[in-house]
A and B are shown apart, each in its own frame.
Chain A
Amino acid sequence: MSHQNLDIHVHHVTRVEGHGNVVVKVRDGKVETCHFEVVEAPRYFEAMLRGRSWYEAAIITSRICGICSIGHQAASYQATEAALGIKPSEQTVELRRLLVDAGTISSHILHVVFLAAPDALGVPSAFALIDKNFHAVEIALKGKRLANDLCDYIGGRMIHPITCVPGGFTKLPDVAGLKKQKEKLEKELIPILFEYADIVYSVADKFPSFTRETEYISLKNDSEYALYNGYLASSDGGTAPIDQYLDWTNEKIVPHSTAKHCHHKRGAYMAGALARFNNNSAQLSKTAKQVADRFALKAPNYNPYMNNIAQLIEAVHCTETAIERMDKLIQTGIVPEDPPREIKTRGGRGVGATEVPRGILFHDYTYDATGRITKANCIIPTNENFANIDADMQKLVPEMIAADLPRETMQLYLEMLVRAYDPCISCSVHMVNLD
């Protein structure tokens, strides 16, 4: 074995949001250190929520993430509505689902094309993709723009939507506008995603064939592929209502990370597109299933690098589903509704959970009788995946050493592994550094 002694220290893995390091130390053939360090400063959004009114919570939490602002709002409304007994109409829920679809498409295109694909295409950055495949970049930008336009139309902004409020929308779309959006998705976005599936398929063998079985946790919804809402489900068996999330996430502090780690039935679990695919693939749209078949991706799949492919499949699913939702809304027509401006409450606690691109996002608020938050907790999916990334690394490194891979290849595969989880590190950091 040529790797009796090995040091890999990737100081800030690139093409992920935020700062994290891959650290591997092998001495005399023994792996002494092998983990992903999160070194971001902590964020204190929960503390900022205390004392804020029921109407402000979603506006504030939307700012936790510039990518997942729609998902944060969705989880936030659910938590507020559950706590205060506000029941949104079916139309409101359907429009929120449409927004979550659009946000998922946009984020998945960003990650698959610009952050993950450069590895498979042999270029160092999204920027370098322009020279390698100008057309691919052009259509990806167009695809993302189409999804963002839909966010803008329904939510009033491409990011940090302003029309969604607890209990409804301050401004509703109309049938003519929905028809335009639907037509754009049908005629422009679906072909783009097909073309992208071709491009990714041509380089799919560049993703390592590593496997490690783990527990996959996602939301599940009996009526559809769960994204906006659902109940908790584990690939190891068992389901639970979302308000039992603390028993499923079990956050703990670890010495090498400013972000907490999570575990459920095993030492780690995976959340995100592959977890959703493994738990709910039977509910994917027809075309999304065809894309999965093309990549021979079948549930359960234990290769974390396939999270990239699961994201591509979900982008197709969300596009088809968004078209169906808009069809339904066009047929039924948009019913004028006014969201509540005031509430009568005795206070209470509510939990919301939405599948954002990287996994399940939990918001948990306790309100007092004046409708102000007294306690808040947000668990971000990137946190849920950190322990699993470490566990993957601890299996992958000895396998790569045994295969006598060049050091550069080992480092690349480790970086690709972290990127495959599409981590949003800045969002995940919720504790002070204990050093």
Chain B
Amino acid sequence: MDAVTARIIGLGNRLRCDDAVGPLVAERLASGRLPEGVEAVEAGGDPFILFDLIAGCGKAVIVDAAEMGCEPGTVKVLRNSEIPAVFRMHTSLHAVDLQDVLAMARRMGVATKVSLVAVQVGDCGYSETLSPAVESVFTEITNIALKEAVNEA
């Protein structure tokens, strides 16, 4: 198997409306042709599976639903130290949040580059479809994640 140089990781719950954006982006990308060395995977709620996914590649692009106080569907890309410690994720990682996982990866000497593609949610209720606001920018989010993976990958 070819070495993975960049991994796009979708976080979130597929049954919670906009929280599903990460897994759906990963699924869309995985179902198509990706550049050599790039893979797209869905991570569950286990923080240490996420740790392994981050650690096992040169660059990790995490796509996640977020509450940023913006208009639903707003997308922000944060890189490495730009990912703030106070950033609140919707994803529950079983008692350890994304910040802990990233901090642990740094402390453990895992020198992965990490980008976070954060998508402002509109609705995280119980639904298997995205809200119109997030759905309307879904292709754009997918393209942003792929571009982020390829840049410097």
Which residues in A have their C-beta under 8 angstroms from that of B46? 66-67, 106, 110, 148, 158-159
Residue in B49, B107, B126 whose CB lies within 8 Å of A148: B49
Q: How far is the CA of A63 from the CA of B48 in the complex (A)?
A: 18
Residue in B44, B100, B108, B126 whose CB lies within 8 Å of A159: B44
Which residues in A have their C-beta under 8 angstroms from that of B108? 130, 134, 137-138, 141
Q: In the complex the two chains form, is B48's CB within 8 Å of A110's CB?
A: yes
Q: In the complex the two chains form, is B104's CB within 8 Å of A48's CB?
A: no
Which residues in B have their C-beta under 8 angstroms from that of A148? 46, 49, 52
Chain B, Cβ-Cβ closest to A159: B44
Q: In the complex the two chains form, is A15's CB within 8 Å of B95's CB?
A: yes
What sequence of 0s and 1s flags, for each residue 129-158 of chain A, a beta carbon within 8 Å of any chain B beta carbon? 011001001100100110010000000011
Q: How would you classify the secondary structure of chain A's contact residues: helix, strand, loop or mixed?
A: helix
> How far does the Cβ of B128 sit from chain A's closest Cβ, in whole Å?
8
B113 at the A interface (CB under 8 A) = no
Q: In the complex the two chains form, is B126's CB within 8 Å of A66's CB?
A: no
B111 at the A interface (CB under 8 A) = no
B15 at the A interface (CB under 8 A) = yes
Q: How would you classify the secondary structure of chain B's contact residues: helix, strand, loop or mixed?
A: loop
What sequence of 0s and 1s flags, for each residue 47-64 of chain B, a beta carbon within 8 Å of any chain A beta carbon? 111011000000000000
Q: In the complex the two chains form, is B15's CB within 8 Å of A17's CB?
A: no
Q: In the complex the two chains form, is B94's CB within 8 Å of A67's CB?
A: yes
Tally chain B residues at the interface, Cβ within 8 Å.
25
Which residues in B have their C-beta under 8 angstroms from that of A18? 92
Residue in B47, B94, B107 whose CB lies within 8 Å of A130: B107
Which residues in A have their C-beta under 8 angstroms from that of B126? 43-44, 47-48
How many chain A residues sit at the interface, stated as a range, is: 35 or more
Q: Which of B111-129 contact A (CB under 8 A)?
A: 126, 128
Which residues in A have their C-beta under 8 angstroms from that of B100? 125-127
Which residues in B have their C-beta under 8 angstroms from that of A424? 94
Q: In the complex the two chains form, is A110's CB within 8 Å of B94's CB?
A: yes
> How far does the Cβ of A209 sit from chain B's closest Cβ, in whole Å?
26
Which residues in A have their C-beta under 8 angstroms from that of B47? 110
B142 at the A interface (CB under 8 A) = no
Which residues in B have their C-beta under 8 angstroms from that of A138? 108
Q: In the complex the two chains form, is B48's CB within 8 Å of A60's CB?
A: no
A65 at the B interface (CB under 8 A) = yes
